[in-house]
Amino acid sequence: MTGPWTKGEKTVTDALRVLVVEDEPNIRELVCLHLGLEGYACEGAGDGQAALARTERERFDLLVLDVMLPGLDGVSLCRAVRRGGVNRDVPILMLTARDQESDKVIGLESGADDYLTKPFGVRELVARTRALLRRPRQTAAAAAVDRGDDASGPPVRIHGIDIDMARRRVRIEGREVELTDQEFRLLHLLATHAGIVFSREALLTRIWRGDTYVTVRSVDTLVKRLRRRIEADPANPRFLLTVWGVGYKFADV
């Protein structure tokens, strides 16, 4: 049966699928309503275990996870999804409680791509969601470079910076820039996640891969070094931005 409501509309099968995991019905329905208006096929779950079971069976285009959940909390759910399976590279947006700075850090370390602090505005929710869904889903090769494995991947171009992963070469406005391996990996990680804030701890884990002799200060030092290589004015960076109290991000488009 085809009515006026489905005519010319995307069918459910080509709409991007979003799973919203939140036990507070009002927030869950609000998120689903507004993402639905954006044209996404939104489904809700109120329990962490039930959500995990679904993510093990079905592929989604985005997960919105509240940190505080019955059954299994959002951080553990996020870690479980990232460990493998059909959704291991799905963009994840965390919903964190107000004034819980630690929630943001834990969320990003567990593999979330971005977070929203409650209470959040609908416009901010929609903007973050669009940004996450606009990003190309990370390829296996890019994931391997993130992990520090020797792998090639597609070249990245952002704000006049060309990053050639296969050749480990970086050009800024056509001019070749020499980078150390760590500087290269930091630049690649941030540039392929433009606009996403990484805590110092998250960068330590991703860039140094569990080396126990480094501290968060090493991250600041590496950022300073990379700025000297790629920024015209390292004291007023255009690309590698500091997010006070949280960490660093690459300038968004």
**How many residues form the binding site for Ca ion (CB under 5 A)?**
3
Considering the complex, what minimum distance in angstroms separates the CB of residue 18 from Ca ion?
17
Nearer to Ca ion, 110 or 192 (CB): 110
Tell me the per-residue interface mask from 68 to 97 with Ca ion, x by CB under 5 A, - otherwise: x-----------------------------
Tell me the per-residue interface mask from 99 to 128 with Ca ion, x by CB under 5 A, - otherwise: ------------------------------
Nearer to Ca ion, 13 or 26 (CB): 26
Considering the complex, what minimum distance in angstroms separates the CB of residue 63 from Ca ion?
15
Please report the DSSP string for the chain in residue order. Answer: ---TTTTTSPPTTTSPEEEEE-S-HHHHHHHHHHHHHTT-EEEEES-HHHHHHHHHHS--SEEEEESS-SSS-HHHHHHHHHTSSTTTT--EEEEE-TT-HHHHHHHHHTT-SEEEESS--HHHHHHHHHHHHHSPPPPHHHHHHHHT-------EEETTEEEETTTTEEEETTEEE---HHHHHHHHHHHTTTT--EEHHHHIIIIITT-TT--HHHHHHHHHHHHHHH-SSTTS-SSEEEETTTEEEEPP-
Instruction: Find the binding residues for Ca ion in span 48-67 (CB under 5 A).
Output: 66
Nearer to Ca ion, 18 or 67 (CB): 67
Stretch that binds Ca ion, among 22-30, 116-124, 178-186, 215-223 (CB under 5 A): 22-30
Task: Give Cα 230 to chain centroid, integer Å.
Answer: 23
Stretch that binds Ca ion, among 17-25, 83-91, 162-170, 238-246 (CB under 5 A): 17-25
CA-closest candidate to residue 48, choices 25, 22, 81:
22
Nearer to Ca ion, 68 or 214 (CB): 68
Integer Cα distance of 68 and 52 in angstroms: 15
Nearer to Ca ion, 114 or 146 (CB): 114
Strand partners, 43: 19
Residue type at 138 in one-letter notation: Q
Considering the complex, what minimum distance in angstroms separates the CB of residue 21 from Ca ion?
9
The one among 16, 23, 89, 100 contacting Ca ion by CB under 5 A: 23
Nearer to Ca ion, 66 or 183 (CB): 66
Considering the complex, what minimum distance in angstroms separates the CB of residue 89 from Ca ion?
25
Note whether 141 binds Ca ion by CB under 5 A.
no
Nearer to Ca ion, 101 or 176 (CB): 101
Interface ranges with Ca ion (CB under 5 A) = 23, 66, 68
